[in-house]
Amino acid sequence: MSAFTKTTASIGAAALLIALAACSAEPASSSTDATPVSGGTLTFASGDAEPTCLDPAQSGNVPQALVSTQYIESLFYQSEDGEIEPWLASGWELSEDGLDYTITAQSGISFSDGTAFDAEAIKANIDYIRDPATKSSTGAYALAKVDSVEVTDNTTAVIHLTSPDSALLESLSQVWLPIQSPTALERGLEANCESPVGTGPFIVESWEKQSSITLVRNDDYTSPPPGASHTGPAYLDSIVWKFIPDDASRFAALQTGEVDVVDRVAPESLAALEAHSSLTFEGSSRPGYPESLVLNSTKAPFDDVKVREAFIRSLDIDAGLESVYFGSVDRSNSVLSTATKYGIETPDAYSTDVDKAKELLDEAGWTLGSDGIREKDGESLTVSFLINGDQVLAAQKALYEQFQASAKQVGIEVKLNSVDVATRYAQLAEWDYDIASAYYTKNSADVLRLIFDSANTELVGGYHSNTTGIADKDVDKLLRAAAESADEDERTDLYAEAQEIVAAGYYQVPIFDQQTRLGIKNTVVHGTRVIPALSLPTFYDSWLTR
Amino acid sequence: MTTAVISGGPVAIPRARTAGRRILSRVAGAIFVLWAVATISFFIIHVIPGDPALAIVGGAGSNVTQEVLEAARVEYGLDQPLWQQYIAQIGRLATLDLGTSYTLRTPVSDVIADHLPSTLILTVLSLTVAWILALALAIWVTRGGRIARVVGSTLEVVSAALPHFWIAAILVLVFAVSLRVLPATTAPGLPGVILPVVTLAIPLAGFLGQVMRESMLDALESPFVLSARARGESEFGVRWIHAIRHAALPGISLSGWAFGSLISGAVVVETIFAREGLGRSLLAAVIARDVPLVTGVLLTVAAVYIVVNILAEIAYVLVDPRTRVSS
C-alpha cells in the first residue's frame, strides 16, 4: 500500500471518529479547584516508541525523556522564560575565565535507594555520561567541552571546561543528563536500563516489555522542582505507563476511559477531543529549532539564493496550517521556538508572495516550460523533498502535499520522497535531498550553532546537524561568540544578528514549534503540568477523582 | 507452500523405508528454508540504507559522538567485513544462539519467548474463528436459494478484500467508543482479545469461505452424495458428514498459507491494539535495523510456518480417506 493511501485512510478513519464523537457528548466535568487527594493509579498512554532502556543517559531520546521525568531529576531547572534555577544543585558560580563551574549540591536529598545525594554523586554522574561505554548520545554531546570534575568537599563539585560553554547549565537541566544513584550505577548498564534509580517522585517498580511500565510513589521524596504546587510525596500511588503507537487507538482508549492521559494527540483528533467536555487538550511548545523545511544549499537548484527565496515565497503556510491543524498550532516566524530564550521573529523573510517568487525564478534564468515546470539549460526545476515516513503525522503529510501544490504554481516541481527513519538519516548524511523536514529539540539558543555553524556540516556520528549547508563566516563567528559569552545582553545581540543573517539567506523556513500535545480526562485527572526544560509532563502534582 | 501440501497428499507409498527417507528429506528441507530465511534477511537488512551502529546507541537522529559510535561498532563486530559478519551470524545460528538484540540489549531468544505466546494465541484463535465463520457461511450459502448465494458470495469477496487496519478502526469505533462493550486496546482476559481476533478473522473467513463453498457445491453434486442419499442418508448427514469433509479439504491445505498471512496481519493488529507480540517486535526491529532481532523473529515465524504446514498435511490425511496409506 502506498503511503498516500494510508494517509488518506487514516484521515478517513479520523473523520469517522469525529462524527461518532459528536453523537456521544458527555456531561460537564467536575470542578478542578477542589482539594487534592492522595491515592489511585493513573494510566498514561504514550504514542512514542517504547524506550529500549529506562536510563536516559544510555542513548538519550524523547521516549526515554518522557518516562524518566517521573523518576529522575536534574541539577538545574529551567523556567518557562529560559532562566536557570536551582533544583538538586542549590547554586553555582562561574570563574572569571569561564572555564570552571563550581556547583553546590543541595543537602538532605536522597536517592530512592537510600544513597545520599552529594558532590560525589555529581561527579559520578557526569563521568558516567561521558564514559563511551555508557553510549550516551545527547548527554555526552552536551558535555563535549567538559574536561574533568573535581570534588572539593562533600557538597561542592567543580566542573572544569576546555573552553567556555554558556549552554552548560541549560544542558544540565535536561533529563538526558540525569542524576542517578551512584550505588545503582555500579550495578552495571543492563540493571540500570531495567530499573534506574533517581531522586524523583516515583520509582520504577516493573517493566513488562511491549505492555507497560509500572511506577510507584517515592514516599521519601523531598526535592520538588520550582513551580510545583505542593511539597512532600506525590499524590498518586502509582502510574501505569502504556505504549499505544496507533493515533486513533490511543485516542479511542482515552475516550473509553481505558487510559487517563495520552500524548501526541493527532491534529485530526483535536475537534473530537474538544467536543467532549470531559477531555482537555494541553499543548506546549518544546524548545529548540521548530519544525521547519530546510533547503539543501550545497547543490543545484537551491545553491542559488533566488531559487531558495522563490520556493519559500511560493508557500502559503498560514492557510496550510489552518486547514490541516485546525488552528491547534501557531505558525512560527523564528528559528527558535517560543520556549527558547533569545529568539527573534523575522516574518518578512517567510511571507507569501507568489508574484515575487515568479520574478525571482525569471531572474535566475528558469523559464516556464510547456508542462508548467520551469527549465534551465535543459534541466527541469524538480526538487526532492525528504520525508520521515515512519514518524510523519497524516496531517503533516497533508501539509507537505499543499506545499507541493503551491510550489507547482510558480513552476517548481516537488517530489515527495517518504522513507523510513534509518534511510532518511542515511540520505541526510549524503546530502541526498533538496528539501527536508527538520527540527531539533534543545533547551538553549546554542541549538543555532548546531544547525547553522558551518563546522556542523561535517558528519558526527553519521549525522551532520547543519542540514542546510549554510557556511557563513559571520554567522559562525556570532554563534561561537554567543556560546562562550556569559553576558546576557551580549548574547541577546549576538543571537539576534545571527538570526537576521540566517533568515535573509533563505536557507530554511520554520513552520511551527514542536509540541507536547497532551489529551487529559479532566473528570479524573487534575493538576498535571509540564517541566519546561523540554516541555515534558510530570505527574508529581497530579491527583485523581474517580 | 500450498501446492506442496496438496501434492503431498495423494502420493502414498506404503513402505517404512520410504517413509523414513521422506521424513529425512522433510527435515533437510526445513533446515534449508531456515538457512535461506537467515541469509536473505541478513543481506536485505544490510542492503537497505541505515546504520545498525546507530540503532545500538539510541536510534537514528541521536546526537552521538564518533567515539561512541566506533565503540559500539567494535563491541558488536560491525567493523568487520560483511561476509565475516555473515559467517559469524550463521555460525551462531547453527549452535541455536540467536544473539543479543542491538536495541533491547537482551538475548533474542528471551524476546521471542516473551512475545511468541501472545502472537500464537492471536493467530490460532483467529484461524479458528475464521474457520467457523467460513464453514457457517459455506453451509448457509449451499443450503439457501439464489439470494443466499448472491449475498454469501458478495460477503466473501468483500470481507476478503478488507484491509486489517480499516476493520480494526471500525470495530473500535462501534464496539469500544460507541457501544462501550469491549476495550479499544488490549486488556487482560477474553474481552481484550476479541477485537484483534475478529479483525484478523474477517478477511481470512471471506477467503476460506470462497473455496469451501465451491468444493461443498461440487461435493453435493457428486455421485457419492447421490449414493448416500440413495442409501437413505438424511440431508443433515449428507451435509455434516459427507459434504463438509469435501468443503474442509481446500480449507485445510490453505490453512498453512493462512497462518503465514495471519502472522503478517499480526504486525498491523498488534500495533493498532497495542497488543504485545512478535509482530510489534519485528516492526520495531526493522525500523531500528536491529539485525539479530529481525533474523530471530523471521526464523521463528519460518519455523512455526513449517510446523503448521506439517500439521495441515497430517490433518489432510485424516480428513481425506483417499490419501491414507493402506498396507
Distance CA A190, CA A193 (A): 5
Q: By CA distance, what is A255's nearest residue in B?
A: B177
Distance CA A161, CA A169 (A): 13
Q: Is the pLDDT of residue B5 over 60?
A: no
For residues B70 and A524, which has the higher predicted lDDT (pLDDT)?
A524
Q: Do B184 and A258 touch (CB under 8 A)?
A: yes
Q: Which amino acid is at A252?
A: A
The domain segmentation of chain B, as residue ranges, is 12-94, 108-326
Comparing A179-193, A236-250, A481-495, B181-195, which segment has the lowest mean pLDDT?
A: B181-195
ipTM: 0.80
A240: helix, coil or strand?
Answer: strand
Q: Is the pLDDT of residue A493 over 60?
A: yes
Is B27 part of the contact surface with chain A (CB cutoff 8 Å)? no
Q: Do B281 and A210 touch (CB under 8 A)?
A: yes
Tell me what percent of the residues of chain A surpass a pLDDT of 90.
75
What pLDDT, on a 0 to 100 scale, did the predictor assign at position A470? 96
Tell me what percent of the residues of chain A surpass a pLDDT of 70.
93
Distance CA A144, CA A150 (A): 17
The model's pLDDT over A19-75, given as tens digits with 9 standing for 90+, comes to 444 444 333 344 445 799 999 999 999 998 888 899 999 878 888 999 999 999 999
Partners of residue A440 on adjacent β-strands: A289
How many A×B Cβ pairs under 8 Å?
A: 184
Q: Do B173 and A20 touch (CB under 8 A)?
A: yes
Q: B74: pLDDT confidence band, cut at 50, 70 and 90? A: confident
Q: B248: pLDDT confidence band, cut at 50, 70 and 90? A: confident
Between B51, B166, B180, which is nearest A9 by CB? B166
Q: What is the mean pLDDT of chain A?
A: 90
Q: Are A43 and A256 in contact (CB under 8 A)?
A: no
CATH number for B108-326 (one of 1.10.10.10, 1.10.3720.10, 1.10.1240.10, 3.90.1300.10): it is 1.10.3720.10
Comparing B8-17, B53-62, B152-161, which segment has the lowest mean pLDDT?
A: B8-17
Helix pair B164-171, A3-23: axis angle to 10 deg = 10
Q: What is the mean pLDDT of chain B?
A: 84
Comparing A22-26, A521-525, B148-152, which segment has the lowest mean pLDDT?
A: A22-26
Q: B167: pLDDT confidence band, cut at 50, 70 and 90? A: very high
Cell of B172: 473500535
B23 burial (CB, 10 Å; 0-12 / 13-18 / 19+) is: exposed
What pLDDT, on a 0 to 100 scale, did the predictor assign at position A61? 82
Q: Do B68 and A137 touch (CB under 8 A)?
A: yes
Helix, strand, coil percentages in chain A from 3-state DSSP, rounded to 5: 35, 25, 45
What pLDDT, on a 0 to 100 scale, did the predictor assign at position B325? 59
Q: What is the mean pLDDT of the segment spanning A169-190?
A: 95
Distance CA A208, CA A58 (A): 19
Q: Are B77 and B85 in contact (CB under 8 A)?
A: yes
What pLDDT, on a 0 to 100 scale, did the predictor assign at position B313? 85
Distance CA B173, CA B180 (A): 9
Q: B64: pLDDT confidence band, cut at 50, 70 and 90? A: low
The model's pLDDT over A299-352, given as tens digits with 9 standing for 90+, comes to 999 999 999 999 999 999 999 999 888 778 899 999 999 999 999 999 999 999
Torsion of CA A268, A269, A275, A279, to 10 degrees: -150
What pLDDT, on a 0 to 100 scale, did the predictor assign at position A506? 97
Q: A141: pLDDT confidence band, cut at 50, 70 and 90? A: confident
Q: Are A14 and A250 in contact (CB under 8 A)?
A: no
In terms of DSSP bridges, do strands A288-295 and A508-512 run parallel, antiparallel, or are they unpaired?
A: antiparallel
Comparing A12-16, B6-10, B162-166, B306-310, which segment has the lowest mean pLDDT?
A: B6-10
Q: Is the pLDDT of residue B23 over 60?
A: yes
Nearest to A543 by CA among A96, A42, A88: A42
Nearest to A25 by CA among A395, A274, A297: A274
Between B66, B115, B165, which is nearest A461 by CB? B66
Q: B16: pLDDT confidence band, cut at 50, 70 and 90? A: low
Q: What is the mean pLDDT of the segment spanning A198-220?
A: 95
Q: Would you say the C-alpha torsion A37, A42, A46, A51 has a positive or negative sign?
A: positive
Q: What is the mean pLDDT of the segment spanning B146-166?
A: 90
Nearest to A436 by CA among A423, A448, A446: A423
Q: What is the largest CA-CA distance in chain B?
A: 85
Q: Is the pLDDT of residue A355 over 80?
A: yes
B311 burial (CB, 10 Å; 0-12 / 13-18 / 19+) is: middle
Q: Are A192 and A133 in contact (CB under 8 A)?
A: no
What pLDDT, on a 0 to 100 scale, did the predictor assign at position B62? 59
Comparing A82-91, A260-269, A417-426, which segment has the lowest mean pLDDT?
A: A417-426
Q: What is the mean pLDDT of the segment spanning A201-207?
A: 97
What pLDDT, on a 0 to 100 scale, did the predictor assign at position B59? 59
Q: Do B185 and A253 touch (CB under 8 A)?
A: yes
Helix or strand (DSSP H, E) at A512: strand A508-512
Q: Is the pLDDT of residue A180 over 90?
A: yes
Cell of A198: 533517581
Q: Do A16 and B169 touch (CB under 8 A)?
A: yes
Q: What is the mean pLDDT of the segment spanning A370-381?
A: 93
Between A9, A20, A137, which is nearest B177 by CB? A20
Q: What is the mean pLDDT of the segment spanning A491-516?
A: 96
Distance from CA of B69 to the nearest CA of A (A): 6
What pLDDT, on a 0 to 100 scale, did the predictor assign at position B17? 64
For residues B243 and B281, which has the higher predicted lDDT (pLDDT)?
B281
Please work out, in degrees rounded to the nearest 5, the angle formed at the alpha carbon of residue A368 by the alpha carbons of A363 and A373: 115
Cell of A71: 523518576
| DSSP states of A444-500 | STTHHHHHH-GGGGS-BTTB-S--S----HHHHHHHHHHHH---HHHHHHHHHHHHH
The model's pLDDT over B81-136, given as tens digits with 9 standing for 90+, comes to 888 989 988 998 989 899 888 888 889 999 999 999 999 999 999 999 999 999 88
Cell of A327: 488552528
> Within 10 A of A35 (CB to CB), how many other CB atoms are there?
5
Q: What is the mean pLDDT of the segment spanning B245-274?
A: 87
Distance from CA of A250 to the nearest CA of B (A): 8
Q: Do B64 and A460 touch (CB under 8 A)?
A: yes
Mark residue B274 as left, alpha or beta (left: phi above 0; alpha: psi -120 to 50; beta: remaining). Answer: left
Q: What sections of B144-277 are H helices per DSSP?
A: 146-161, 164-171, 190-220, 223-230, 235-237, 244-272
* φ, ψ at A452 (rounded to 5°): -120, -5
Helix pair A267-275, A317-325: axis angle to 10 deg = 50
Q: Is the pLDDT of residue A81 over 50?
A: yes
Nearest to A111 by CA among A90, A101, A125: A125
Q: Is the pLDDT of residue A254 over 60?
A: yes
| DSSP states of A122-181 | HHHHHHHHHSGGG-BSHHHHHTTTEEEEEEEETTEEEEEESS--TTHHHHTTSTTS-B--
